[in-house]
């Protein structure tokens, strides 16, 4: 309980909201870590938010059992965490020879919106299948989302595709999402920034499922696409949620790939007050993720405090 | 909970009548970070002691249900969940000899959100595992 009180005090003083995606604990979950263990680790960082992957965390996705739901709400209450984003997938190339229709994509998103709402989430990130190396989403994304805007509004959920390496901010994929927001005038669709786009040094171990073929054939992705943090200015008004992707932070709190010392001041300058939801994607040795996530929270909180101190104290207290 | 390796120690055994084995089974942890529709698994290839057992000749058991390679490719509803395993059922007259074998697996995962040149990706594992009963 002491830790929970401390956590509340911390967040009263900060502009960012801190959370953790259970993606961080990939490979540990299901082998050496239970869902309740994960809640304990997330709460132990001082976070207020927890992000899940629907089909990963719910053992009978898309239909949780009543026992699972009871446990879910009990854990949220016990660890004083709020559901933030639920990650979902629109598996467009659903069989080798057939792509999903727009109707099927619509049904997939509707199903996940209802599930996310049932569990208390405010954001849904559908990951669409792509048609090229620039990660251009399958064209069904647009009708599938548009047909769900009324439902998303009813359920008070914002649908967020992610801007994820190797797709930068200034790119036709991002432009198409923004054009959609402007055309429809919707408040229920926005952009999720994955901080992996700012990676500016090469990865020596990618925890997202590295294979020999990816190591040889995806060099730009593994080396980092180095999006300038200044490009956030272009899109920040569409960004209510950020996945704080990272791969390795050493014992001096130095991140080897992601330039937090430039990202944090830029987000502060732009007045970002949403979640930074940790997405650890480094070495997948057992339990390494727990300590890595804690280091990231220590690092970002330190940079945020330094920014506040340099700009007339804490403006958000 | 399951072993960290994809290939599990338990579940590696011969099948069929004693003295007239018809094949063997290998239990594999679902190693992806999210559950997977069966149609997104394009096959599971095995190599035991250097001998290849291609996916197209095997069957896969998920829970109580068995699928041929062709049936897997069309199964878009049933899923392999994180924290669970599936079993590869391999026909082989006489089965495998008792003792320690070198077992390698390669799962052909199709991630629709990966660039087309990485569909599928090959998720590999290899280890020693033991057959106890002839």
Residue A252 CB neighbours (<10 A): 7
Q: What is the per-residue pLDDT across A53-64, written as a single tens digit (0 to 9) for each?
A: 999 999 999 999
Residue A107 is predicted with a pLDDT of 98
Give the percent of chain A with pLDDT over 70: 94
| Domain boundaries of chain B, sorted by first residue | 13-131
Average model confidence (pLDDT) across chain A: 93
In A, residues 175-214, which contact B (CB 8 Å cutoff)? 208-209, 211-214
CA distance A216 to A230: 31
Would you say how long chain B is, in residues? Answer: 134
From the list B33, B115, B119, the residue facing A26 with the nearest CB is: B33
Q: If you count them, how many residues does chain A have?
A: 317
Of A30, A96, A129, the CB nearest to B83: A30
Residue B22: CB atoms within 10 Å: 15
| CA neighbor of B129 nearest in space, from B24, B19, B20 | B24
What pLDDT is attached to residue A86?
A: 98
The beta-carbon neighbor of B117 closest among A32, A92, A217 is A217
Q: Provide the 3-class DSSP secondary structure of residue B130.
A: strand
pLDDT of residue A205: 78
Domains identified in chain A, total number: 1
CA–CA distance, B36 with B40 (Å, rounded to integer): 6
What pLDDT, on a 0 to 100 scale, did the predictor assign at position A314? 57
Rounded Cα–Cα distance for residues A18 and A33 (Å): 22
Residue A317 predicted with pLDDT over 50: no
Catalytic residue among A41, A164, A247, A257: A164
Is A315 domain-assigned?
A: no
DSSP assignment, residue A101? P
* Arithmetic mean of pLDDT, A80-95: 98
Q: Does residue A317 lie within any of the structural domains?
A: no
Question: What is the model's pLDDT at position A33?
Answer: 97
Domain that holds residue A216: 2-310
The CATH number of the domain holding residue A152 is 3.20.20.150
- The answer to whether the beta carbons of residues A300 and A264 sit under 8 Å apart is yes
Residue A111 to chain B, least CA–CA distance (Å): 13
- B82 shares contact with chain A (CB less than 8 Å): yes
pLDDT band at B39 (very low <50, low <70, confident <90, very high): very high
The minimum CA-CA distance between B4 and chain A, rounded to whole Å, is 6
Q: Which residues does residue A243 pair with via DSSP β-bridges, in sequence order?
A: A194, A277
CB distance A24 to A50 below 8 Å: no
Q: Using 50, 70 and 90 to split pLDDT, how confident is the model at B132?
A: very high
Average pLDDT over residues B34-47: 97
pLDDT surpasses 70 at A1 = no
**pLDDT beyond 80 at A156:** yes
Model confidence pLDDT, tens digit, residues A175-189? 999 999 999 999 999
- Here the ipTM equals 0.95
DSSP state of A136: P
């Amino acid at each position: 309980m002491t830790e929970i009180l401390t956590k509340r005090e911390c967040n009263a003083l900060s502009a960012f909201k801190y959370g953790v995606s259970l993606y961080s604990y990939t490979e540990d979950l299901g082998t050496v870590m239970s869902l309740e263990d994960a809640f304990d680790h997330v709460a132990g960082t001082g976070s207020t938010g927890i992000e899940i992957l629907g089909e990963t965390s719910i053992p009978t996705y898309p239909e949780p059992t009543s026992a699972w739901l009871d446990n879910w709400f009990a854990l949220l209450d016990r660890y004083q965490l709020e559901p933030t984003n639920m990650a979902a997938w629109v598996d467009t190339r659903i069989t080798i020879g057939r792509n999903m229709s727009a109707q099927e994509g619509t049904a997939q998103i509707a199903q996940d919106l209802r599930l996310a709402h049932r569990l208390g989430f405010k954001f849904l990130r559908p990951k669409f299948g792509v048609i090229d190396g620039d990660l251009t989403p399958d064209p069904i994304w647009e009708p599938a989302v548009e047909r769900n805007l009324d439902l998303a509004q009813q359920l008070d959920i914002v649908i967020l595709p992610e801007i994820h390496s190797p797709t930068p901010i200034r790119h036709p994929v991002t432009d198409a999402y923004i054009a959609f927001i402007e055309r429809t005038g919707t408040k229920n669709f926005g952009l999720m920034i994955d901080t992996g786009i700012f990676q500016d040094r090469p990865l020596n171990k990618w925890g997202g499922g590295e294979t020999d073929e990816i190591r040889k054939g995806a060099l730009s992705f593994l080396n980092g696409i180095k999006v300038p943090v200044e490009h956030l200015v272009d899109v920040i008004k569409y960004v209510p949620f950020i996945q704080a992707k990272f791969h390795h932070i050493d014992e001096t709190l130095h991140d080897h790939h992601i330039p937090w010392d430039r990202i944090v001041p830029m987000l502060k300058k732009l007045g970002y007050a949403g979640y930074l939801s940790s997405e650890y994607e480094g070495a997948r040795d057992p339990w390494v993720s727990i300590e890595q996530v804690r280091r990231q929270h220590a690092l970002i909180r330190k940079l945020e405090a330094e920014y506040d101190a340099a700009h007339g104290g804490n403006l958000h207290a | 909970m399951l072993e960290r390796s994809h290939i599990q120690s338990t579940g590696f055994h011969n099948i069929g009548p004693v003295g007239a084995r018809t094949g063997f089974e290998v239990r594999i942890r679902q190693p992806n970070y999210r559950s997977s529709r069966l149609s997104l698994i394009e096959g599971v290839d095995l190599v035991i002691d250097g001998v290849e057992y291609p996916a197209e000749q095997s069957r896969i058991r998920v829970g109580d249900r068995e699928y041929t390679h062709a049936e897997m490719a069309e199964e878009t509803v049933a899923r392999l969940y994180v924290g669970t395993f599936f079993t590869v059922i391999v026909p082989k007259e006489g089965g495998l000899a008792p003792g320690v074998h070198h077992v390698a697996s390669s799962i052909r995962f199709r991630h629709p959100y990966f660039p087309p040149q990485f569909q599928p990706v090959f998720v590999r594992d290899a280890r020693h595992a033991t057959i106890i009963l002839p």
